A = this chain, B = another copy of it.
Amino acid sequence: MSLSVELLSTGDELLTGQVTDTNSPWLMDRLWDAGVMVTRKTLVGDDRAVLEAVLRETTGRADLVVMSGGLGPTEDDLTAECVARVMGVPLELHAPSLAAIEERFKRFGRPMTPNNAKQARFPRGATVHPNRWGTAPGFSVQLGRARLTCLPGVPAEYRGLAGEVVLPWVVDRLGAAPATRVLKLVGVGESAADQAMRPVMDDPAWRGVRFGYRAHFPEVHLKWTVDPPDAEPRAAAIESAVRAIFGESVWGSGKEELAALVVDRLTARGQKVAVAESCTGGLLATLLTAVPGASAVLDLGVVAYANSVKVGVLGVPGPLLAAHGAVSEPVARAMAEGVRTAGDATWGIGITGVAGPGGGTPEKPVGTVHLALAGPAGTTAVARLYRWDRERVRLAAAFEALDLLRRALG
């Protein structure tokens, strides 16, 4: 069973660059996991003639058209009206939707305007999809050769309703669902990952499997989707093969986040980390403290740009700084050990480097970074030479520091 799907988004704000349509990539990603590549995506403004033309065109070509936007209460919101005109049917009030909208306004203590009642009117014969995330219900109709599903453009509402209405319909139409796996790496570039993956990707046993990469800098995510039959066991067998290749470089899978994983492991052990950052300037602390509950595992972070701070706050010996320079392995080690002591933590991390664009020298060019991790069993250090801009050098260094700690936590 194959399925032809088109996406359609409406809204003037999408055509002036004010708002970027993030709904379509979100749904495309999930449709691709389900085994369908969207054929076309069209963006149009709030214009009756254009909307009606594009509704005719898309529903004349595809099995499923998912439309987003134009379900609000204002005069610019034309979706239900245009769909009804193209279908040649009137709009009809849907009493349960009106009651739900009235109830919603009462609950939030806001006055309901006559315009909001418009959001309860749908083309005759439509299936209405109640919206648990906002005011405007979605709806589906049969039009041309397509099922046409219209959803609100607000991302949380679009995603909620698409998950509830569109994806189950697609899976049902396709029959058995494919299986998807994602494994996540840090410290391995995309081309190196591609090289290493070749033996798996070229293995005749996995012919027809859709392999892909997602670069979430500085991470690389490896992804594969296996169609039925035996989708799950085959996806699992590929996972074993991939894990055998990358070993400890695989830090997680699925929807896991590296900082959250580190915070969870520290929490489980009842341990704390303290961080001392030079070139990353607080980014490592920011990543850790972005995780809810991070206060249980991080008491102290120090941004030590100046040598005086490295000496005064972190206790890096002045002669060490003089002998090796601030960007050096001994100083990274001393920062890690110093902040571990100052913060009375199990683990201490030190990062020092040249983020650029200035500050590079022939011996220590831009992108030179030393990372150190101090722990109960001593201190380890790694050196890196990143070939990116300031922002990426900082991101890569902060993530590799997280990864150092992740490996130490086992």
A contact residues vs B (CB 8 Å cutoff): 12, 14-18, 20, 22, 24-32, 37-45, 47, 50, 54, 212-214, 275, 277, 280-286, 288-290, 292-295, 298-306, 308-309, 312-313, 342-344, 356-359, 390-391, 394
A17 engages B40 (CB within 8 Å)? no
A212 engages B298 (CB within 8 Å)? no
A267 to B20 CA separation, bound complex (whole angstroms): 36
A47 to B, closest residue via Cβ: B39
15 A/B residue pairs, CB under 8 Å, sorted by A: A14-B41, A16-B212, A20-B20, A24-B43, A40-B42, A281-B298, A282-B284, A282-B303, A289-B303, A294-B305, A299-B305, A299-B306, A300-B313, A303-B303, A308-B344
A283 to B287 CA separation, bound complex (whole angstroms): 9
A20 to B, closest residue via Cβ: B25
Residues in B with CB closer than 8 Å to A292 are: 356-358, 390
Most chain B CB within 10 A, of A38, A305, A342, is at A305
A289 to B393 CA separation, bound complex (whole angstroms): 13
Residues in B with CB closer than 8 Å to A213 are: 18
Residues in B with CB closer than 8 Å to A275 are: 303
A213 to B391 CA separation, bound complex (whole angstroms): 27
A38 engages B22 (CB within 8 Å)? no
Chain B nearest CB: distance from A223 CB in Å?
Answer: 9
Most chain B CB within 10 A, of A27, A43, A344, is at A43
Given contacts A15-B37, A18-B212, A313-B300, is CB(A294)–CB(B281) below 8 Å? yes
B282 engages A301 (CB within 8 Å)? yes
A327 to B176 CA separation, bound complex (whole angstroms): 54
Select one of B28, B42, B277 contacting A16, CB under 8 A: B28
A391 to B, closest residue via Cβ: B290
A313 engages B294 (CB within 8 Å)? no
Chain B nearest CB: distance from A97 CB in Å?
Answer: 26
A25 engages B32 (CB within 8 Å)? no
B303 engages A309 (CB within 8 Å)? no
A289 engages B300 (CB within 8 Å)? no
A45 engages B54 (CB within 8 Å)? no
Residues in B with CB closer than 8 Å to A343 are: 309
A292 to B, closest residue via Cβ: B357
Residues in B with CB closer than 8 Å to A298 are: 281, 303, 305
Chain B nearest CB: distance from A66 CB in Å?
Answer: 13
A43 to B, closest residue via Cβ: B41
Residues in B with CB closer than 8 Å to A17 are: 25-32
A214 engages B285 (CB within 8 Å)? no
A69 to B295 CA separation, bound complex (whole angstroms): 46
Residues in B with CB closer than 8 Å to A47 are: 39
B28 engages A37 (CB within 8 Å)? no
Residues in B with CB closer than 8 Å to A28 are: 15-17
A41 engages B15 (CB within 8 Å)? yes
A302 to B12 CA separation, bound complex (whole angstroms): 45
A39 engages B32 (CB within 8 Å)? no
B25 engages A22 (CB within 8 Å)? no
A289 to B285 CA separation, bound complex (whole angstroms): 13
A304 engages B294 (CB within 8 Å)? no
